[in-house]
């Protein structure tokens, strides 16, 4: 058997298949191009290449989108019939766990693989993504830091691990080291959108518009082309312009970069679009008819209820578009999801449903109820995933509810907290 670009044994003897697989790994790490096509090219060379099937299943299942369900299942079935190393078996089992709603189990399994095989950058990355969805902030940081023991400066994969570590450090509040790691990684490969993103988070957390806007705007020619992740970095830039009060630029970014195709039903894109329009909506800024096509794109997911974080973002679009019927359908589906086995039942009950009720209350003008519901669970909301920057929408909605509902003490408290945290810029 051959070894991949990091030295891990893989389940093929075809050098042509391996070349495509190695290409796919690079694309996955940089969130660029079409890694599924590269994996398919590897599998065309060697249909029994279990490592490629496992990577394909893992990549697709982490899109948190029911649209990929059949392709995930096809990859899992084909992988089970293919030649598998012990590591491949664990990757495949982790993807199956995720597919069946056992997100925590799958992520734990990937952590074991990564600890025992620190040069398995794919395991480190998939575990990292799992931690992101599960709000496991310390492991978001520690997984890549552990793996760095097997890499020296100049090694293939070193910068990718630095970038992951940078994001984990940022989510744990270690902004100085996050920025140091991030800047070193960007110097290694400025095309790495995840690394650029890690430093963008540092700037967002600090409220540092002066550093944050040029960081994204001036370097976009490196990170944006061919990036499957670009819409999210553009979203970060839009947040900074919103803080700067430049709503023309925010709407321009929405139309041209965050949501260039208003009919796109890619869930991860829809999350950022919902979050951006909702923030504008909170500020009382006229967003025209932008919520309507977004709500139409989310409609297919209205009753998915397999990841509460997605459900809440669908609900924002429905409420913004005045589609209370769809919002109610989503909330009912979330309530039904409590009885389904898996991690989503827990986060729906503890976090997702109280927040959905709070956002519905806000849209109905029941501001005191909205603020109370959101603030009651805000402190544990990391359990339904996302970043601090993404979950800031909870605080912002509670703050606007407090302002509109005349809850002066609550509004003052939340403003004070905000001013303290965003002390730079
Ligand atoms: Fe982000």
pLDDT digits 0-9 by tens, 93-145: 999 999 999 999 999 999 999 999 999 999 999 999 999 999 999 999 999 99
Mean pLDDT for the stretch of residues 63-78: 95
Q: Mean pLDDT, to the nearest integer, of 398-418?
A: 97
User: Which pair of structure tokens corresponds to residue 237?
Assistant: 């830039």
Compute φ and ψ for 10, nearest 5 degrees: -120, 165
Question: What pLDDT shows up at residue 228?
Answer: 87
- Average pLDDT value for the chain: 96
Residues 189-214 have a mean pLDDT of 96
Ligand 1 center to 16 CA (angstroms): 36
Give residue 8 CA to ligand 1 midpoint distance, Å.
Answer: 30
Distance 204 CA to ligand 1 centre (A): 9
Q: Examine the pLDDT at 388 and tell me if it is beyond 90.
A: yes
Separation of CA 129 and ligand 1 centre (Å):
12
Who surrounds ion ligand 1 at CB < 5 A?
Answer: 387
pLDDT attached to residue 1: 86
Ligand 1 geometric centre to CA of 349 (Å): 25
Banded pLDDT at 56 (limits 50, 70, 90): very high
User: Percent of the chain scored above 70 by pLDDT?
Assistant: 100
- Residue 69 has a pLDDT of 95
Residues 330-374 have pLDDT tens digits of: 999 999 999 988 899 999 999 999 999 999 999 999 999 999 999
| 197 Cα to the center of ligand 1, angstroms | 6
- pLDDT at position 425: 43
- Rounded to 10°, the helix 15-30/193-206 angle is 10
Tell me which residue has tokens 């994001």: 167
User: Among 31, 28, 80, 29, which residue's Cα sits nearest to residue 53?
Assistant: 80
Give all domains of the chain, ordered by start, each with its CATH number.
1-113 (1.25.40), 136-228 (1.25.40), 230-425 (1.25.40)
How high is the pLDDT of residue 68? 95
Distance 247 CA to ligand 1 centre (A): 20
**Ligand 1 center to residue 233 CA distance, Å?**
7
What residues have CB less than 8 Å from 376, skipping those under 6 apart? Answer: 354
pLDDT for position 377? 98
Cα-to-centroid distance, 180 and ligand 1 (Å): 18
- Backbone CA torsion sign across 320, 326, 310, 255: negative
Q: What is the pLDDT of residue 306?
A: 87
Name every residue whose Cβ is closer than 8 Å to that of residue 24 and which is 6 or more positions away in sequence.
Answer: 35, 36, 38, 39, 42, 52, 55
Residue 152 CA, ligand 1 centroid: distance in Å: 27
164 Cα to the center of ligand 1, angstroms:
12
Which has the closest alpha carbon to 331: 373, 322, 349?
349
Question: pLDDT confidence of 238, banded at 50, 70, 90?
Answer: very high
Tokens of residue 170, six digits: 């940022």
What is the pLDDT, as a whole number, of residue 342?
A: 87
Confidence label for 314 from pLDDT (cuts 50, 70 and 90) = very high
**Do residues 307 and 134 touch, judged by C-beta distance below 8 A?**
no
In a 3-state reduction of DSSP, which class is residue 157?
coil
Measured in Å, residue 312 CA sits from the centre of ligand 1 at 17
Does the pLDDT of residue 423 top 80, yes or no? no
Distance of alpha carbon 260 from alpha carbon 131, whole angstroms: 29
């Amino acid at each position: 058997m051959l070894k991949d670009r990091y030295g891990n044994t893989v389940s093929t003897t075809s050098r042509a298949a391996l070349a495509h697989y190695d290409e796919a790994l690079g694309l996955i790490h940089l969130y660029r191009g079409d890694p599924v096509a590269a994996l398919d090219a590897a599998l065309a060379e060697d249909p029994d290449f279990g490592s490629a099937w496992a990577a394909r299943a893992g990549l697709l299942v982490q899109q948190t989108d029911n649209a990929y369900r059949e392709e995930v299942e096809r990859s899992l079935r084909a992988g089970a019939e293919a030649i598998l190393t012990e590591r491949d078996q664990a990757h495949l089992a982790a993807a199956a766990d995720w597919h069946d709603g056992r997100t925590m189990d799958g992520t734990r399994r990937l952590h074991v693989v990564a600890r025992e095989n620190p040069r398995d950058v794919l395991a480190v990355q998939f575990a990292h993504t799992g931690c992101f969805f599960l709000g496991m902030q310390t492991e978001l940081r520690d997984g890549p830091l552990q793996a760095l023991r097997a890499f020296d400066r100049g090694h293939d994969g070193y910068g990718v691990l630095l970038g992951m570590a940078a994001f984990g450090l940022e989510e744990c509040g270690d902004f100085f080291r996050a920025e140091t790691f991030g800047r070193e990684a960007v110097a290694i490969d400025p095309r790495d959108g995840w690394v650029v993103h890690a430093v963008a988070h540092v700037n967002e957390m600090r409220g540092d518009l002066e550093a944050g806007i040029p960081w994204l705007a001036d370097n976009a020619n490196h990170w944006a082309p061919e990036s499957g992740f670009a819409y999210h970095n553009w979203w970060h830039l839009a947040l900074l312009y919103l803080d700067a009060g430049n709503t023309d630029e925010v709407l321009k970014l929405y139309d041209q970069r965050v949501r260039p195709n208003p009919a796109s039903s890619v869930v991860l894109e829809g999350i950022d679009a919902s979050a951006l329009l909702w923030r504008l909506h909170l500020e009382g800024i006229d967003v025209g008819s932008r919520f309507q096509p977004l709500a139409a794109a989310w409609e297919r997911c209205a009753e998915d209820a397999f990841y509460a974080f997605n459900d809440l973002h669908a609900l924002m679009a429905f409420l913004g578009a005045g589609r209370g019927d769809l919002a109610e359908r989503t909330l009912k589906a979330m309530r039904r999801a409590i009885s389904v086995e898996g991690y989503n039942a827990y986060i729906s009950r503890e976090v997702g449903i109280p927040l959905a009720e709070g956002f519905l209350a806000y849209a109905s003008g029941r501001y005191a109820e909205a603020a109370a519901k959101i603030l009651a669970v805000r402190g544990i909301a990391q359990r339904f995933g996302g970043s601090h920057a993404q979950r800031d929408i909870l605080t912002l909605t509670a703050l606007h509810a407090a302002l509109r509902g005349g809850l002066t003490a609550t509004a003052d408290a939340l403003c004070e907290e905000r001013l303290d945290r965003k002390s730079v810029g």
